Chains A and B, each alone.
Chain A
Amino acid sequence: MARKTNMQTLLKNLRIIDPELGLDLISDILIDDGVITKIAPEIGLNDWNVDIHDYSGCVAAPGFIDIHVHLREPGREDEETVETGCAGAAAGGFTAVACMPNTDPAIDSAEIVESIISKAAKTPVDVFPVAAATMGRKGESLSPVGELKEAGAVAFSDDGVAIKTASILRKVMEYASMYDLPVIEHCEDESLAGGSMNEGLNSTRFGLTAVPPIAEELTVARDIMMAEYTGAKVHIAHISTAKAVQLVREGKAKGIKVTAEVTPHHFILSDDCLADYDTNFKMNPPLRTAEDVTAMIEGLKDGTIDCIASDHAPHSIEEKEMEFEYAPNGILGLETTLSLSLHHLYHTGVLSLIQVIEKLSVNPRKLLNIPVPAIKEGEKANLTIFNPDTERTVKVSRFKSKSKNSPFNGYVLKGSPVAIFNKGKLITSE
């Protein structure tokens, strides 16, 4: 629930972890009119006008950002809107999201970017639109890159598909790099695309149409080479195969400006999950093999994979409750990503808490040139507060998102979002 903004807020007994400042201490935080005014242990105040919360056992980190979110606006407001998506983000522990341009119409004009940002202004969450790299995401002509940047776009992508040809990719990269903006690629060779699951033994067993892992790897290789050639920054969205991770690892070693994100479902679930033909396990890229899942974990661990992003893709029940081959791709993520990351990465010893925070806040903000909020006196308070140790049971019925398509319903996870503080307001998760 929202609190009045002109009030002081005192957050007590937080473990403050700010990787950029090298901070890891237990302290209180006093916030006045949205600005951090004091960080000290045992701040005592006898003022009636202070909203006091005891967050013993909880961590405060620079506000988390999910850089791969489909807000569905404009075009599919029946599935999600900027408002409901942001409510889901806040409940899931995110103070910011980057939204993808495969809306209807695509985010390929300054007006659409501005309209999304103005809708987001009324929510507790900052929304950073990723604009279409080409007009209508058709891969034919450049979108108005400069105007889109001026309007607030933070990156360019034809997400949903890869940028169609090497020729237009080159132009997008050359243009975007003038503004130091990254190109985010959904890596999938169009001519090999079109299946409902990963090609492998399981697709043969389940008799489903399949997309081979090499469809992703070919495009990752192309994009890394083109980034080297043009000097542009390329960000590999929802990486999912072991070889793709290896390509990014090698690209980084050569000094090429390549970064990558992975979704929780790709570092947790394998294509064994499709045995029941549950459409909540249908997404693109598809769930891969257990070996690929292991490679995601390795990539997160050694830093090849820079960030965790959800690929939050809301779909209506009637669209998803369908014959497997006909159901649309995609699952929700905003309200599960934090818990899944803590449960499957932190509590398993894959990542430290600091590394989890880096991959959900510091790294993604840096790669989109968004300032990383500092937990420091005099700075605006932009915080994610979570309890790494409390268990929660995922219940899609309680999601703030308009859609309910999550395969994680019923999962018991250790680590829960507690609240965010952003735009002068404390928003609690439950």
Chain B
Amino acid sequence: MQLKIKHLLGLENVSSSDIQTILDTAVSFKQVLERPIKKVPTLQGKTIVNLFYENSTRTRISFELAEKRLSADSVNFSVSGSSVSKGETFKDTVRNIEAMKVDMIVVRHASAGVPLYLTKITDSVVINAGDGIHEHPTQALLDMYSIREKLGKLEGLKVCIVGDIAHSRVALSNIFGLKAMGADVSVCGPATLIPRNISDLGVKVIHNIDDAIQENDVLNILRIQLERKAKASFPSTREYHKFYGITKERLEKNKKDVLLLHPGPINRGVEISSEMADGEHQIILEQVTNGVAVRMAILYLLGTRHGEEN
């Protein structure tokens, strides 16, 4: 099982067979996580740098655990803010790190396109852990893994991504990945949070949350970015919750058995009520567990990939 991709920069141009390979490989790594000794020697001797130019807790810890469980040597490099404020250019920083002989770089950065740029200035394998409002492919892969694990398939499923689509890298990766796997994808939220041209990606736009619940098998509920509230793209969190929040009453009213995902961190009482965040429909913590398995699969497949073919 060899991937066609050499790096994981995003899911826009990743084939369904590569996605299938990643998800299938993650199944066996999830079994590893259930053993008393949760470690395999697969990436022994490989060095991985987690290059985080933006704050992150769960994604960084998830990658770090995945790396340690594959027996790789990993180091963290965290910088808040851009390289501009640091005085050293991003390129110089990366060249310095690479001079210490690393094999893979996991990168998160506030500017879209940085993972691709990295592939041009280093020889390391690059994995995108989130770039700006562009893509967050490992999150989408773990979302897809979780859906598939729960519902047995992706093809033909109706999946709606709910919330701030315009400022979400999770949304875009999910759209590309799910569509590649044959799912029927829609987005739901107020018009100000939906990019004007999103329907050109073959995605249905829904503004009424009740319609979204009725029409879909899965809702992937995005975090409302409270820190971006200053941007004033919706009237208030109170109003957002009233019209878009996922509540027990809303699901009961629509008499719908729907699977709820959330990439976290959750704003309880905003995009989802506390009751639903802990309720029977959601698989939020399973997503977190699956995240480690999926990241192990990606690190393993890209870290042991050989040859320059394709």
Q: Do A and B bind each other?
A: yes
Q: List chain A positions with a Cβ less than 8 A from chain B.
A: 199-201, 203-209, 276-277, 318, 321-326
Q: Is the CB of A326 within 8 A of B111?
A: yes
CB of A201 within 8 A of CB of B200, answer yes
Contacts of B83 in A (CB 8 A): 322-323, 326
Given the contacts A322-B90, A325-B110, A208 and B12 also touching, CB distance less than 8 Å: no
CB–CB A277/B116 < 8 A: yes
Subset of 11 A-B contacts with CB under 8 Å: A201-B197, A204-B195, A204-B197, A209-B133, A276-B113, A277-B117, A318-B89, A322-B91, A324-B113, A324-B117, A325-B112
Enumerate chain B residues within 8 angstroms of A321, measured Cβ to Cβ.
89, 91
B309 to chain A, nearest CB (A): 23
- Complex Cα spacing A203 to B195, Å: 9
Q: Which residues of B are found within 8 Å of A322, using beta-carbon distances?
A: 83-84, 89-91
Judged by a CB distance under 8 angstroms, whether B172 is at the interface is yes
Contact A323 B82 (CB under 8 A): yes
A residues near B110, Cβ cutoff 8 Å: 323, 325
* Residues in B whose Cβ lies below 8 Å from that of A206: 112-113, 134
- CB pair A207–B172 under 8 Å, yes or no, is yes
Residues of B within 8 Å of A208, CB to CB, are 112-113, 132-134
Interface presence of B196 (CB below 8 A): yes
- Closest approach, in angstroms, between the C-beta of A247 and any C-beta of chain B? 21
Cβ contact within 8 Å between A204 and B172: yes
Chain A neighbourhood of B91, CB < 8 A:
321-322
Which of chain A's residues have a CB closer than 8 A to the CB of B131? 207
Is B169 an interface position by the 8 A CB rule?
yes
**CA of A404 to CA of B208 in the docked complex: distance in angstroms?**
51
A323 to B131, CA, bound (A): 11
> Chain B contact residues (Cβ within 8 angstroms of A): what range?
20 to 34
Give the CA-CA distance A217 to B14 in the complex, in Å. 37
Q: Judge whether A201 and B111 touch: CB under 8 Å.
A: no
B109 contact set on A, CB distance < 8 A: 323
Q: Does B135 contact A (CB under 8 A)?
A: yes
Q: Which residues of B contact A325 (CB under 8 A)?
A: 110-112, 132
- Map CB proximity to A onto B106-120 as digits: 1 under 8 Å, 0 otherwise: 000111111011000
Q: Tell me if B61 is interfacial: C-beta within 8 Å of chain A.
A: no
Cβ A323 vs Cβ B134 within 8 A: no
Task: State A204–B132 Cα separation when bound (angstroms).
Answer: 12
Q: Kindly list chain B residues whose C-beta atoms are within 8 Å of the C-beta of A201.
A: 197, 200-201
Which residues of B sit under 8 angstroms from A200, Cβ to Cβ?
196-197
Residue of A nearest to B121 (CB): A321
Q: With A201-B201, A208-B134, A209-B133 in contact, is A326–B82 under 8 Å at CB?
A: yes
Contact A323 B201 (CB under 8 A): no
Partner of B90, one of A205, A207, A276, A323: A323
Question: Is B266 an interface position by the 8 A CB rule?
Answer: no
Known A-B contacts A207-B132, A207-B172, A325-B132; the reply to A277 vs B113 at CB < 8 A is yes
Contact B132 A205 (CB under 8 A): no
- Contact A323:B198 (CB < 8 A) given known A208-B134, A209-B133: no
Contact across chains for A207 and B201 when beta carbons are under 8 A apart: no
Query: B169 near A207 (CB under 8 angstroms)?
Result: yes
Question: How far in angstroms is the closest Cβ of chain A from B184?
Answer: 19
* Cβ contacts under 8 Å, B198 to chain A: 204
> Which residues from A are CB-within-8-Å of B111?
323-326
Given the complex of chains A and B, what is the CA–CA distance between A95 and B200 in angstroms? 47
Is B113 within 8 A of A205, CB to CB?
Answer: no
Chain B minimum-CB-distance residue to A204: B195
Binary contact track B70-113/A, C-beta < 8 Å → 1, others 0: 00000000000011100001110000000000000000011111
Other-chain contact of A207, B82, B84, B135 (Cβ < 8 Å)? B135
Q: CA A276 – CA B172 in complex, angstroms?
A: 17
Other than the given A207-B169, A323-B113, 11 more pairs (CB < 8 A) read A201-B200, A203-B195, A204-B200, A276-B113, A318-B89, A321-B91, A322-B89, A323-B83, A323-B109, A324-B112, A324-B113
Cβ–Cβ contact A326 & B84, under 8 A: yes
- B133 touching A207 by the CB < 8 A rule? yes
Q: How far is the CB of A164 from chain B (nearest CB, A)?
A: 22
- B134:A207 contact, CB within 8 angstroms: yes
- 3 closest Cβ contacts across the A-B interface? A207-B134, A277-B113, A323-B111
A93 to B222, CA, bound (A): 55
How distant is the Cα of A321 from the Cα of B95 in the complex, in angstroms? 14
| Shortest CB distance A321–B (Å) | 6
Which chain B residues lie closer than 8 Å to A326 at the CB level? 82-84, 111
CB-based contact B117/A323 at 8 Å: yes
Minimum CB distance partner of A208 in chain B: B112
Instruction: Give the distance in Å from the alpha carbon of A257 to the alpha carbon of B133 in the complex.
Output: 42
A276–B82 alpha-carbon span in the complex (Å)? 20
Chain B residues, CB < 8 A from A204: 172, 195, 197-198, 200-201
Question: Residue of B at shortest CB range from A325?
Answer: B111
Closest CB of chain B to A213's CB: distance in Å? 11
Q: Give the residues in chain B near A209, CB-CB below 8 Å.
A: 132-133
**Shortest distance between the CB of B68 and any CB in chain A (Å):** 29
Most chain B CB neighbours (cut-off 10 Å) among A209, A323, A324, A325:
A323
Using CB atoms, name the residue of chain A closest to B173.
A207
The chain A residue sitting closest to B82, CB to CB, is: A326
What residues of chain B lie closer than 8 Å to A276, measured between beta carbons?
113, 116
Please name all residues of chain A whose beta carbon is closer than 8 Å to the beta carbon of B82 when the two chains form the complex.
323, 326
Question: Across the interface, which residues of A come within 8 angstroms of B90, CB to CB?
Answer: 322-323
- List which B133-162 residues lie within 8 A (CB) of chain A: 133-135
> Nearest Cβ distance between residue A110 and chain B, in whole angstroms?
36
Q: CB-nearest residue of chain A relative to B133?
A: A207
Contacts of B195 in A (CB 8 A): 203-204
Residue of A with least CB distance to B113:
A277
Given the contacts A318-B89, A326-B82, A207 and B197 also touching, CB distance less than 8 Å: no
Q: Which residues of chain A are near B89, meaning CB under 8 Å?
A: 318, 321-322
| Residues of the A chain whose Cβ atoms lie less than 8 Å from the Cβ of B116 | 276-277
By a CB distance below 8 angstroms, the chain B residues around A203 are 195
From residue B305, how far is it (CB to closest CB) to chain A in Å?
23
From residue A398, how far is it (CB to closest CB) to chain B in Å? Answer: 24
Residue on B nearest A321 in the bound complex, by CB: B91
Cβ B114 vs Cβ A323 within 8 A: yes
Contact with A along B121-135 (1 / 0, CB 8 A): 000000000011111
Complex: how many Å from CA A322 to CA B197?
28
